[in-house]
Amino acid sequence: MLQADGITYEIETPDGPLKLLDNVSFNVPRGHFMAIVGPSGCGKTTLLKAIAGMIAETDGRFFWNGHDLAEEDFEPSEIGFVPQFSIAYDQLSVDENVESAARLRCRFDSVDDLDESIDNALEVTGMEGIADRDVKILSGGQKRRLALAMELVSNPRLLICDEVTSGLDPRSEHDIVDLLHEISRSEGRIVISVTHSLSHLDRYDSILVMHQGCVAYHGSPKTMLHYFGVSSLEEIYPKLQDREGPSWCRSWGKHRDSYYSRLEQEREKKILSGELPDPDAVRSLPEPEKAPEEPGPEKGDAVRSESGKAASAEGRGGSPEAAAEAIPEVPGFFTQFFCLLGRRWRIFFRDRSQLVLQLVMVLLFPVLVAMFTDKGTGQIVGLSATQDVQTIQKDMEAQQLNMKTGSAVSGIIMFEVILLGLMGSNNAAREVAGERAIMEKEKYAGMRPSAYLGSKLAYLSVLVLVQSVWMFAFVDFFWDRGGGLTHLLFLILADAAMTFVCLGISSLARSADQASLLSIYLVGFQLPLSGAVLALPEQVEGFIRPFISAYWAWSGSISALKSDVYNAVKNVLDTDLTPALVCYIVLGVHVACGIAASYAGIRRSRWEL
């Protein structure tokens, strides 16, 4: 049973505290299908988030099977949440999305168990006939069914749905409501659905009507019209405007017991008639064999309690009913890591626009650099020690040639670094921000932030290596001015620093567009602030330089050139060069800071999307 006792949620506004939920109380028994309805802004979605633990109630308590959820939160697999937004990847098929959800949420003893879970979820939601179909060509109703299938793989005891029928045609809405009704009839599962629609309310066991954050009614759909004194459902919302929310709440408090009594009588009749299976008949299941221990989910990712919604995978005590049910364990770090990494590569190769862009950059950018290599191939000429007029004239010509060659070498190296920075920005700018909503949903279902970050780092590291090695090999084929593997290492570090810093920006940004814009600005300022073209003013150089990765990769690469080439380059620069070791250290710090920012952004809960 789910119980809410005096739930209040308050936020601060410029005009003072505002209660989005005000003393909300209700009881939902096992095997129950409940709708939450009310005008826009009445607190429906806020209540749903409070139940799910996405926001922390200011006052009041939730109880699940007798346990205070403020002290002992849901296990990730105990609760399923179907949000308004799509939680599937368009580039993958229905079956692949459901398989990914299953691998991230549940630990299976064998592949057969995994396949059985996927097949059951697809069958229950009627998706088995289109399992091989790509998500991008599904209809709205089919996408809602897919979202339900992805939740059912963990066999949740509580399924909450936020506006899953919004935007659907009447037929699809009817089918989804019927599906939710059938899901609530299986294994004592509670299904709670937030909806604006007043259609098909007869399919629900109870209706919770919200107004201005307060409960105006919670009872059978058969007695709702009588309670509000109206003749049709369409008259209920206008009727609510006649009184303030607290007034409706007080009125409901006076009549609550009698309506709950009628609701319980209806429930008993449904059980006796066979319309509703006895949800209190607990099934006896054999104790599952324990899989080898893997690191548990990380702490601190939830709002409601210290253990956290996406955090605790350890066993919990509970009522006899809860204890008798098998709660799937959350998979270990490596299971989630390889699942996420494999999924990312499948998406990469199926996203034609991104794949083509990567190929164009990898193949074209080195060609652009190679076009200018002939300018940096001039012979470095030593100067004479004699002082006769003819020799001095030759030395001046040689010096001009050396300066021209040195300037070209410096420019070519910086060109490589900037182009790799641009590729790094493209690699990561939208990597997290572009799928933030899905990532938050998967974290809520038990995905570890560390596994998610690890998969991103592994994926991006491959891109960095391919881009940097190919840039070095292609350009070096036409132009060898020394530096060798040291230059290659600095190219890798330049690409990695920009990639992981942009990944940090993507993790912290509010939107994918914001992340892309900030990353472009970051790359755009690399060249003018590096000092490679014009030396920075001394007043700002010491403050700005540590943040400009292009400078450190450029300076380190030049320091590794052959001595004659190095001297030629140094003679044309106003900017001081830094020893290679220091450049290694600073670029390593850039990479580390980018990874740390990425983890902080990924770990932070962001449901306001």
State which residues form the domain around 395: 334-373+383-603
First-to-final CA distance of the chain:
30
113-157 confidence digits (pLDDT tens): 999 999 999 999 999 999 999 999 999 899 999 999 999 999 999
Burial tier of 186 (Cβ tally within 10 Å: 0-12, 13-18, 19+) = middle
Instruction: State how far Cα 67 lies from the chain centre.
Output: 30
Mean pLDDT lowest among 383-387, 462-466, 583-587: 383-387
Is the model's pLDDT at 390 over the cut of 60?
no
Same domain? For 407 and 498 the reply is: yes
Same domain? For 341 and 472 the reply is: yes
User: Sheet holding 16-28: strands in order across?
Assistant: 16-28, 2-13, 59-64, 67-68
Given a contact cutoff of 8 angstroms between Cβ atoms, the answer to whether 91 and 32 are in contact is no
Same domain? For 454 and 566 the reply is: yes
Specify the residue for token string 């990561």. 428
Token readout for 345 is 């590569």
Whether 547 maps to a domain, the answer reads yes
- Parallel/antiparallel/unpaired status of strands 214-219 and 206-211: antiparallel
pLDDT of residue 148: 93
133 membership: H or E segment, kind and range: none
Question: Greater confidence, 370 or 482?
Answer: 370
Whether 111 maps to a domain, the answer reads no
Same domain? For 365 and 509 the reply is: yes
Average pLDDT over residues 350-364: 92
Domain edge (last residue) among 262, 281, 300: 281
Confidence band (pLDDT; 50, 70, 90) for 541? confident
pLDDT of residue 197: 84
Is the model's pLDDT at 608 over the cut of 90?
no
Same domain? For 413 and 512 the reply is: yes
Same domain? For 545 and 466 the reply is: yes
Alpha helices in 309-351 (DSSP H): 320-324, 333-350
Is the model's pLDDT at 302 over the cut of 60?
no
DSSP string, 178-240: HHHHHHHTSTT-EEEEE-S--TTGGGSSEEEEEETTEEEEEE-TTTHHHHHT-SSGGGHHHHH
The CATH number linked to 264 is: 3.40.50.300
Token readout for 97 is 């999305």
Given a contact cutoff of 8 angstroms between Cβ atoms, the answer to whether 88 and 117 are in contact is no
Same domain? For 356 and 233 the reply is: no
- Parallel/antiparallel/unpaired status of strands 190-194 and 67-68: unpaired
Indicate the residue type of 98: V
* Tally of structural domains, the chain: 2
**Local structure of 590: helix, strand or coil:** helix
Cα torsion 184, 189, 190, 195 to 10°: value is: -40
pLDDT of residue 224: 93
What is the Cα–Cα distance from 243 to 227, expressed in whole angstroms?
14
Same domain? For 258 and 367 the reply is: no
Provide, rounded to the nearest whole percent, the portion of the chain with pLDDT above 90: 56
pLDDT of residue 179: 92
Same domain? For 232 and 363 the reply is: no
Whether 397 maps to a domain, the answer reads yes
Average pLDDT over residues 433-447: 92
Same domain? For 256 and 342 the reply is: no
Specify the residue for token string 């001081």. 576
Question: Greater confidence, 475 or 532?
Answer: 475
Secondary structure in 3-state letters for 369-396: HHCCHHHHCCCCCCCCCCCCHHHHHHHH
Token readout for 347 is 């998406």
Is the model's pLDDT at 399 over the cut of 80?
no
pLDDT of residue 393: 58
Domain edge (last residue) among 261, 281, 301: 281
Token readout for 326 is 């098998």
What is the Cα–Cα distance from 275 to 333, expressed in whole angstroms?
43
Whether 543 maps to a domain, the answer reads yes
Average pLDDT over residues 13-25: 89
Whether 87 maps to a domain, the answer reads no
Whether 19 maps to a domain, the answer reads yes
Same domain? For 277 and 339 the reply is: no
**Local structure of 11: helix, strand or coil:** strand
Give the mean pLDDT of the chain. 85
Whether 528 maps to a domain, the answer reads yes
Confidence band (pLDDT; 50, 70, 90) for 170? confident
pTM of the full structure: 0.86
Whether 120 maps to a domain, the answer reads no
Given a contact cutoff of 8 angstroms between Cβ atoms, the answer to whether 575 and 531 are in contact is yes
Average pLDDT over residues 369-381: 66
pLDDT of residue 329: 86
User: Sheet holding 33-37: strands in order across?
Assistant: 79-82, 158-162, 190-194, 33-37, 206-211, 214-219
407-419 confidence digits (pLDDT tens): 788 888 888 999 9
Instruction: Tell me the sheet residues that pair with 410.
Output: none
Average pLDDT over residues 13-32: 90
Domain edge (last residue) among 245, 261, 281: 281
Same domain? For 62 and 174 the reply is: yes
